[in-house]
Structure 1
């Protein structure tokens, strides 16, 4: 059988025996002669909600312990939907109209799922969360057995139409040899969980995956993005065979490149150290603000930032200030319900306006943390689009520093930087660089805004690719203008964690790459083999299509 192609999620490979997983539940039939008592059905629904709530809270705690607090946040969304008046009232109205609790759940959730599937961005992603919660409630209501994914036999390759986050979070990475799904995407919750658990995974394989039967031996190659039936051998993937290097690496022509880790919580620091990260290139502080009813205190934040610095006493830790809005709603903040939140109030726009007090508290904690103990702190600001915004930020930092001085509190103003995520930031890169010490290119958002292609829309998946010439030219301009302005330039989007793209980024002159910890060894190896091939870069930047870029980079 010809290898099936999909999207590789984890740069690992595994061989095992197929077990199909289908979480869908068949509804119990109701005899036409039977009368339906709405009061009984509503009581049944309420009991199912209570059971589901208990399960979700248990899974949230287990996920936080095994994978991390940031990943466990998905269960907060499920708990929120469980108590959403639109859903509960919809079920109640459907029951009172003569349906069973099972039918009412299926119908009510179905209409909301269709509504969210027609939207984009974080709204489209909610459809998967609703589907997961619906299936959970139906399983409880029908008293159906749940496949215990935490007890799969050793050497299992799990195949499914798609996997919900709650499914992936229950997998035992020591038993599961691989995962492959018909649908899904590289940035879905399940894909992120698979990477965190270091399980070989390929998603979006297509309906051909359904032809593989239970009990078949298959290879899941998350590096190549393929599924192979009856493989003759297991490829030695880069992530499995590359030596872990704890020292900073240099290119073949002698240029030092910092290879750092993206983290969201302190739980992710130890794995980053173990994989050889030089430091932290992106600490997503928004996860400090989630799963709680009030913002974190200055002391809480200070202790978190100090933990990151202590984990890398000789390295640099780049902390991004609160990046709320867009696809990162914060429950207790009064964020506007915008038609297109990615083009609205998010990132630094909120920090300089509605949430100025939160911003000041965060800056106080950061300036204090940078003055105590080891480690080299750097702070960067998200979604800065204009020079005026950056000037306001710098004024605010100076003001906080003055306040701490007047209070006789030890502190230091760290390296400051700006995220380059929008076309306007690209065009202002020189002015930004003249005011701060570094620029960090967020290739996920930069691609989204340059190509006008939502990260969450399957309809424009082909456009959301950083190898489009327009995106590469934006990166090139940012690096050149940043260096000319006196700043170093890093990349912290998904692109930085792709070893096959390392020669391209090195050739473009990038100084730092930051990524998920699992890909660090492979990227460090790619750095040592790369050099600043000016001819290659010139030909890539002159390309007119994504396909031409891929050809010049010898990518399949």
Structure 2
């Protein structure tokens, strides 16, 4: 976009690779409370009862929003509200409210007072940990609104929503078809509201800074979530281009680079959101997160239930590959019906294929039977199975033996014997180091950049104190990717981590010899268009320079073209 003399460009952090255009609408600021009455006029028992009732209603609302988010967006995004429920029932916060009531404050004022110090403590931390303060504000304001009987105000259709910050409950209630975009004064890409905005496909820019406050309601702006820009009073040319980008038509057919190299662009899905992926132009499913079939229930799904889910996915993509990742639990995904003592460091413990080959082997073998049955259907020739968290050749060989046994079992029951295409996730340094041995035994390798970054950088992705190390563009991570693609042999190599959905990184990944990119459906149109612009030789040259970089800042400078 070209900038005219009248335009102003405010820079922030892009959250979603999408563009929105519309008039500004400011979200109401924090709830204002009147001065509290005299302490003598407050009945502590009455106020405690009011808080208890409000807490119960708030918990019901959180559960409703969790269910709606799981259905509308995905199970992992819905887990945000589990943290909110935990805050709402936190004993320290409950004690703080009781103490404030004992000091003579009415319920709403007591809630506000009890949350002040915990919010300030989070805000004093560095990096993404500070963003957890937004979750506390969300819980606080929910309780206060419930106590006051107030509802959130409506947002005019077609508006760009501006706010000091957005909370998860603010964000999950937005309609992507009615809200043109969002921008905030504060916040970062890893904040829960940003994660939800990205999952919803809302154009979003966060952390714009104090300049954003200067924009008055009704001012027309462009929110460019890919470039991290808020463009104020866009000229006709800028507006027209933004509207074209906003209304990007999905590219239904497979794409190739400018010099003719095919690149498969697939979708990561959880649950049954196949239609959304197909509507966005996905060539297939590059990651079917089957653990969502197993979570939030008292007993595991039956073989028939799983078979139906895999068959539905194949039906949605009759001409595309569907990659089913086998049960990937442990770490941050516990099963309610899995017994066992808690692990001190579950990310380095029994998760993925380790637990599937061990204590959950019955579930694993049932799942493999369902996959083999689906592979034998009319559309099943394009079904593939992928094993998570493979770290050794021995693990892979045992998993392959279980798959072979499952294929033989369904054949004995009269089902055509089919062993689907097989791949492994490259998520650990060990897997990258033995990529050639793994590739010799499978059809493809799929790099999970989220976990690979965690393990290469020795930085727990659940530990906010080391969140700044969770950067897949660090040279060490890029070299692990290169080690995988260069030792893949005859196996094709894809990327299914979040990095795959960033159009700014597409050229680099293609230069690293990646053949398939799998991502959130919202990112597919932009990535497909970016693929068509790329020259493979230039991409390889960019990758070579990135692999020689010493810091992640050097890599980002290369990607910015500086």
Task: Decide: shared fold, TM above 0.5.
Answer: yes
Q: TM-score normalised to the size of structure 2?
A: 0.86
Identify which range, 361-370 or 116-125, moves more after superposition.
Answer: 116-125
Aligned 8 A contact 1:325 1:346 in 2:
yes
CA change 1:360–1:102 in 2 (3 A) is farther
Identify which range, 327-336 or 157-166, moves more after superposition.
Answer: 327-336
Residue of structure 2 equivalent to 1:366: 371
1:210 to 2:213 alignment = yes
Equivalent in 513, 517, 521 of residue 517 of structure 2: 513
1:140 to 2:143 alignment = no
Partners of 1:25 and 1:354 lie apart in 2 by 50
Residue of structure 2 equivalent to 1:299: 304
Q: SS of 2:241's equivalent?
A: coil
CA change 1:434–1:111 in 2 (3 A) is farther
Identify which range, 510-519 or 450-459, moves more after superposition.
Answer: 450-459
Equivalent in 323, 331, 334 of residue 326 of structure 1: 331
Deviation at 1:187, TM superposition (A): 4.5
1:59 to 2:59 alignment = no
Equivalent in 36, 47, 63 of residue 41 of structure 1: 47
Matches within 5 A, 1:178-217: 178-217=181-220
1:498 to 2:494 alignment = no
Deviation at 1:98, TM superposition (A): 6.6
Aligned 8 A contact 1:76 1:291 in 2:
no
Equivalent in 210, 231, 234 of residue 234 of structure 2: 231
CA change 1:470–1:69 in 2 (3 A) is closer
Aligned 8 A contact 1:121 1:454 in 2:
no
Q: SS of 1:446's equivalent?
A: helix
Aligned 8 A contact 1:202 1:227 in 2:
yes
Partners of 1:93 and 1:286 lie apart in 2 by 43
Equivalent in 142, 159, 180 of residue 177 of structure 1: 180
Aligned 8 A contact 1:221 1:227 in 2:
yes
Residue of structure 1 equivalent to 2:4: none
1:417-443 Cα offsets, whole Å, 9 max, x none, are 111112122112112112221110111
Q: What RMSD in Å do the two structures reach over aligned CA positions?
A: 3.3
Deviation at 1:119, TM superposition (A): 9.4
1:47-97 Cα offsets, whole Å, 9 max, x none, are 112322343344345445544565445445544655566765775677578
Equivalent in 301, 308, 315 of residue 310 of structure 1: 315
Residue of structure 2 equivalent to 1:523: 527
Identify which range, 458-467 or 222-231, moves more after superposition.
Answer: 458-467
Aligned 8 A contact 2:131 2:187 in 1:
no
Aligned 8 A contact 1:384 1:425 in 2:
yes
Partners of 1:28 and 1:87 lie apart in 2 by 22
Aligned 8 A contact 2:127 2:467 in 1:
no
Q: TM-score normalised to the size of structure 1?
A: 0.87
Aligned 8 A contact 1:102 1:142 in 2:
yes
1:389 to 2:395 alignment = yes
Residue of structure 2 equivalent to 1:164: 167
Deviation at 1:513, TM superposition (A): 0.7
Aligned 8 A contact 2:461 2:470 in 1:
yes
Partners of 2:452 and 2:460 lie apart in 1 by 11
Structure 1 spans left out of the alignment, 5+ residues: none
1:306-334 Cα offsets, whole Å, 9 max, x none, are 11111001110111122223333444444
1:258 to 2:256 alignment = no
Partners of 2:549 and 2:76 lie apart in 1 by 39
Residue of structure 1 equivalent to 2:280: 275
CA change 1:97–1:379 in 2 (3 A) is farther
1:91-138 Cα offsets, whole Å, 9 max, x none, are 567757876544554466566667888999999887654442232112
Q: SS of 1:379's equivalent?
A: strand
Equivalent in 249, 258, 269 of residue 255 of structure 2: 249
Residue of structure 2 equivalent to 1:432: 438
Aligned 8 A contact 1:165 1:190 in 2:
yes
1:422-479 Cα offsets, whole Å, 9 max, x none, are 2122112112112221110111222232233454566655543333222211111100
Partners of 1:306 and 1:88 lie apart in 2 by 48
CA change 1:235–1:479 in 2 (3 A) is farther
Identify which range, 4-13 or 36-45, moves more after superposition.
Answer: 36-45
CA change 1:200–1:525 in 2 (3 A) is same
Identify which range, 435-444 or 43-52, moves more after superposition.
Answer: 43-52
Deviation at 1:393, TM superposition (A): 2.1
Q: SS of 2:323's equivalent?
A: strand
